C-alpha cells in the first residue's frame, strides 16, 4: 500500500498518456476533483457561511451564495448562549482521560497477551474479541443499568467521567491492534532484556513502548475522535447540563434556539476533529487500513 505509482491498475499508464486516453483522463480527473469538492466541501461551506446569514436571508429563495450581510453575532450567540466553552472543555477532558485510560490499561493487557502469555491468556483474548460481534445498541440498556449501580461497589457513575472512560477501555479492537503490533516485535529483544535482568514492566517501558509509537498514536487519535463523535452514551450517562459533551449540549439546545445559531454551534463543535484530521491524516488513514486488511 505504500508506493503504487509503479504498479499497473485497471487501465495501463501508457494508454492514459497518449492521445484520446490522455484527453479523457484529464477531463475525468477535472470532473471528479470539481465534483468531489462540491459534494464534500460544498455542504461544509454552506454550513460555515449559512451560519453567518440572518434569519431572513437563510429562508429566502433562491438562497444566496455569499452572506449579503454577515452576522458574526450568530457565532457569538452560539458561544455564549450554549455555554460552548464549558461543553468543549468537558468533551476535551473526557477525550484526554479516555486516551490515558486506554493507553495504560489496553497497552498493558496487549503486552501481557503478546509477550508474557499467562495461563488462560488466549481464552481471555477470545472473550474480548467476541465482544466485537455484539452490536452497541444491544448493550445500551444493561450497560446503563450497570453504570447507575455498579455491581458489588454499588456506586452510581452518572455524571462522573469514569462512566465514559472505563467502558471505553473495553475496546477489543485496540487490544487486537496493539497485540498484533507487539507480536511483530522479535522475541530476542525480550530475551535480551531478561538476561539483563529487566523486569517485565521495565521491558515494556524501555523497549516495547519506544518501538510502538506509531500504533500508540493511532490508538490515541481514534480514542479522541471516538469521544468527540459519540452521542447516545454521553447523552445517557451525562444527564446534567454541567457535564454534557458538546454534541449532546447542542442537541439539547436545538429545540429552543434559532437554527442559524445551532448551525454555528455545530461548526464550532466540528473544528477540533477537523483540525485533528488535517494534522494527523496520514496516521489516521494508515491506521484505518492496516487495522482492517492484514487481520
What is the footprint of another protein within residues 177-206 (CB under 8 A)? 177, 180, 183, 187, 190-191, 194-195, 200, 204
Q: Of residues 82-101, which lie at the interface with another protein (CB under 8 A)? A: none
How many CB atoms within 10 Å of residue 289?
11
274 binds another protein (CB under 8 A): yes
- Asked if residue 32 lies in contact with residue 38, where contact means CB atoms within 8 angstroms, the answer is no
Whole-number Å distance between alpha carbons of 164 and 170: 11
127 binds another protein (CB under 8 A): yes
37 binds another protein (CB under 8 A): yes
Half-sphere exposure of 157 (CA within 13 A, CB side): 20
Min. distance of Cβ 52 from another protein in angstroms?
A: 12
291 binds another protein (CB under 8 A): yes
**Binding segment (CB under 8 A) for another protein, from list 36-44, 66-74, 81-89, 208-216:** 36-44
240 binds another protein (CB under 8 A): no
- Residues counted in the chain: 295
175 binds another protein (CB under 8 A): yes
- Asked if residue 284 lies in contact with residue 79, where contact means CB atoms within 8 angstroms, the answer is no
Q: Of residues 144-163, which lie at the interface with another protein (CB under 8 A)? A: 144-147, 150-151
278 binds another protein (CB under 8 A): yes
> What's the sign of the alpha-carbon dihedral 102, 96, 143, 231?
negative
Alpha carbon of residue 8 to chain centroid: 33
- Asked if residue 226 lies in contact with residue 165, where contact means CB atoms within 8 angstroms, the answer is no
> In angstroms, what is the C-alpha Rg of the chain?
25
3-state secondary structure (DSSP) of residue 209: helix
Min. distance of Cβ 219 from another protein in angstroms?
A: 12
Min. distance of Cβ 18 from another protein in angstroms?
A: 14
Q: Of residues 100-119, which lie at the interface with another protein (CB under 8 A)? A: 104-106, 108-109, 111-113, 115-119
23 binds another protein (CB under 8 A): no
Amino acid at each position: 500500500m505504500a508506493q503504487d505509482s509503479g504498479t499497473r491498475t485497471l487501465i495501463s499508464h501508457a494508454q492514459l498518456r497518449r492521445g484520446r486516453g490522455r484527453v479523457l483522463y484529464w477531463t475525468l480527473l477535472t470532473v471528479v476533483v470539481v465534483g468531489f469538492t462540491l459534494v464534500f466541501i460544498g455542504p461544509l461551506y454552506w454550513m460555515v457561511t449559512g451560519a453567518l446569514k440572518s434569519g431572513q436571508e437563510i429562508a429566502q429563495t433562491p438562497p444566496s451564495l455569499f452572506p449579503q450581510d454577515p452576522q458574526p453575532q450568530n457565532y457569538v450567540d452560539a458561544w455564549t448562549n450554549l455555554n460552548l466553552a464549558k461543553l468543549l472543555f468537558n468533551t476535551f477532558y473526557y477525550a484526554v482521560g479516555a486516551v490515558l485510560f486506554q493507553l495504560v490499561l489496553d497497552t498493558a493487557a496487549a503486552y501481557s497477551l503478546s509477550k508474557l502469555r499467562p495461563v488462560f491468556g488466549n481464552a481471555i483474548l477470545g472473550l474480548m474479541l467476541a465482544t466485537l460481534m455484539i452490536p452497541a445498541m444491544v448493550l445500551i440498556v444493561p450497560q446503563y443499568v450497570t453504570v447507575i449501580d455498579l455491581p458489588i461497589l454499588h456506586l452510581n457513575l452518572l455524571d462522573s467521567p469514569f462512566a465514559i472512560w472505563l467502558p471505553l477501555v473495553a475496546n477489543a479492537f485496540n487490544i487486537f491492534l496493539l497485540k498484533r503490533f507487539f507480536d511483530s516485535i522479535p522475541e530476542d529483544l525480550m530475551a535480551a532484556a531478561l538476561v539483563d535482568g529487566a523486569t517485565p514492566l521495565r521491558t515494556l517501558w524501555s523497549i516495547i513502548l519506544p518501538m510502538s509509537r506509531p500504533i500508540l498514536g493511532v490508538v490515541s487519535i481514534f480514542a479522541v475522535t471516538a469521544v468527540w463523535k459519540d452521542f447516545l452514551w454521553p447523552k445517557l450517562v451525562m444527564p446534567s447540563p454541567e457535564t454534557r459533551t458538546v454534541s449532546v449540549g447542542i442537541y439539547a439546545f436545538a429545540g429552543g434556539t434559532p437554527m442559524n445559531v445551532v448551525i454555528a454551534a455545530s461548526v464550532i463543535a466540528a473544528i477540533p476533529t477537523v483540525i485533528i484530521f488535517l494534522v494527523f491524516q496520514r496516521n489516521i488513514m494508515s491506521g484505518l487500513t492496516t487495522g482492517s486488511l492484514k487481520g
